[in-house]
Chain A
Amino acid sequence: MRFLLLNILSFFIVAGLTSCAATPYKNLPKLTGAPPLALTLSLDKKLLYTASVDIYNHHINGLIALKKMKGGEIRIAFLAQSAIKLVEFRCNEDKCNPSFIMDKIEGTGVVERLQEDFHLLLMKDVALKEAKVVLDDSNKNTRIYRFGRGTRRVFYSVNKKSGHVTKIEKRRNNRLVVSINLSNYNSDGVPLTIVIQREKIKVDMKLVVWD
């Protein structure tokens, strides 16, 4: 009987911890007067990242090139390492739309996921124009900007000192859908490393010099 009680107690403790882990922002105090969220990626210069992609049981290496064009449109090309273009996006004020998809990857769901990830990275979503709530995580010296309402929410974690976005999380019904970690910012305010993690998909991006 005692053993059973201990088991039940353990279950509730574990369940409680899991629940907290699933909603890490739940009990954070709100901040007032926080500065608006700066753009996640500075595209004053064109950017080239190597991309190591683990998708289900496959591994792909490639390159992701991002460039802001004269009219302000951001264009993104995802190439295989053999230089063949796999997918291309054109991002205007609010949307990133695919302008090219290699027939072999069409319908695999990869494009839609990449599109969602670039939306988050470039904040190309009407719902993300203005944060409704800003939370304060003093322990991590972090401000958290919360967007969206209801069951769909996006959280941008910003280092208070540098102002750099360090993490982006998209949650649906409090369940983590995608997590993007940005680290090692250079003097231009560009993250040298971006890691995008979804269920069964991981994209590891590293900035390289694009002459």
Chain B
Amino acid sequence: MNKLLLLLFFTLSLSAAPPQKDVADYAENIKKSSATIATLSASFVQKKYLSALEDVVIAKGIFSLKKPDKIRWQYSSPFLYTITINGTVVSMKDDKKTSQYDMKQNSAFQNLNAIISGSFDGSILTKKELFTAHFSKEKNLIKLELTPRDKKFTLKKITIYFDDKEWLTQRVILTEQNRDYTDISFVDITKNKKVSDAIFTP
């Protein structure tokens, strides 16, 4: 915990930073909240901004998480598509085909998964070898900005918004090295509802 706080303190910009006590509180609250999560379900809206096309592609679906290592993204609009992660096995299912591979073989996907699931289970705050972190407050949301240490990483910045009551992830923005970004908002988040293992098996 001390190491984590040290990392956060070092990476904060002094001018824009909230008081250090608040930062410690944010990290602590996120960690505490994530410790109470066994399962999580939410609807999501994914907005992909394409800079070259000056347009946005919007997709919707259901997100499910079951600790310690099960995740499911079920897209229902404008296409049917499901990504499940069960341990290190990633399965992708469209209307015709299911394909599977070991996440260990795809470092990009492994990192992306670490970001999204890590924002929910709090483990993102321990990935100090991957990111530098910066907290700030925007109205009733806590904003966490993560900058990858590897400049060649697919993403330039990851921004995560937590609510300041339950400390659950409300929104994730993945900014790519080009000017494109993906903005995922979660709504109707339910915690610790029974989620069957079967949905993580394609």
Interface residues of A (CB under 8 A from B): 46, 48, 50, 52, 59, 61, 63, 65, 67, 69, 75, 77, 79, 81-85, 88, 90, 99-100, 102-104, 204, 206, 208-211
Q: In whole angstroms, how far apart are the Cα atoms of A211 and B59 in the complex?
A: 10
B33 touches A (CB below 8 Å) = no
Question: What is B's interface to A at a CB cutoff of 8 Å?
Answer: 46, 48, 50, 52-55, 57-59, 75, 78-79, 81, 83, 92, 94, 96-97, 99, 108-109, 112, 152, 154, 174, 176, 178, 180, 182
Residues of B within 8 A of A46 (CB): 53, 55
A95 to B52, CA, bound (A): 17
| Residue on A nearest B182 in the bound complex, by CB | A83
Contact A59 B48 (CB under 8 A): no
* B178 and A100 contact, CB distance less than 8 A: yes
Cβ-defined contact, B112 with A52, below 8 A: no
Cβ-defined contact, A100 with B52, below 8 A: yes
Nearest to A46 among chain B residues (CB) is: B55
A residues near B46, Cβ cutoff 8 Å: 83
Apart from A48-B78, A211-B58, list 5 A-B contacts with CB within 8 A: A48-B57, A65-B53, A82-B109, A83-B174, A85-B176
For A103, list chain B residues within 8 Å (CB).
152
- Which listed residue (B50, B97, B109) contacts A59, Cβ 8 A? B97
The interface residues of chain B lying within 8 Å CB-to-CB of A211 are: 58, 78
Q: Given the known A-B contacts A52-B97, A69-B54, A100-B52, are A81 and B176 also in contact in the complex, defined by CB atoms under 8 Å?
A: no
Q: Which residue of B lies closest to A48 (CB)?
A: B57
Majority DSSP secondary structure for residues of A touching B:
strand
Residues from chain A with a CB closer than 8 A to the CB of B57 are: 48, 63, 65, 79, 83, 210
Partner of B52, one of A81, A83, A84, A99: A99
Q: How far is the CB of A118 from chain B (nearest CB, A)?
A: 14
Distance, CA A208 to CA B79, complexed state (A): 7
Residue of B nearest to A70 (CB): B54
A82 & B81 in contact (Cβ 8 Å cutoff): no
Q: Which residues of chain A are near B112, meaning CB under 8 Å?
A: 82, 84
User: Which residues from chain B contact A67 at a C-beta distance below 8 Å?
Assistant: 53-55
**A46, A61, A210: which has the most chain B beta carbons within 10 Å?**
A61
Q: Do residues B94 and A50 form an inter-chain contact, with CB atoms below 8 A?
A: yes
By the criterion CB–CB under 8 Å, are A65 and B109 in contact?
no
Contacts of B81 in A (CB 8 A): 50, 61, 81
Cβ of A208 and Cβ of B78 under 8 Å apart?
A: yes
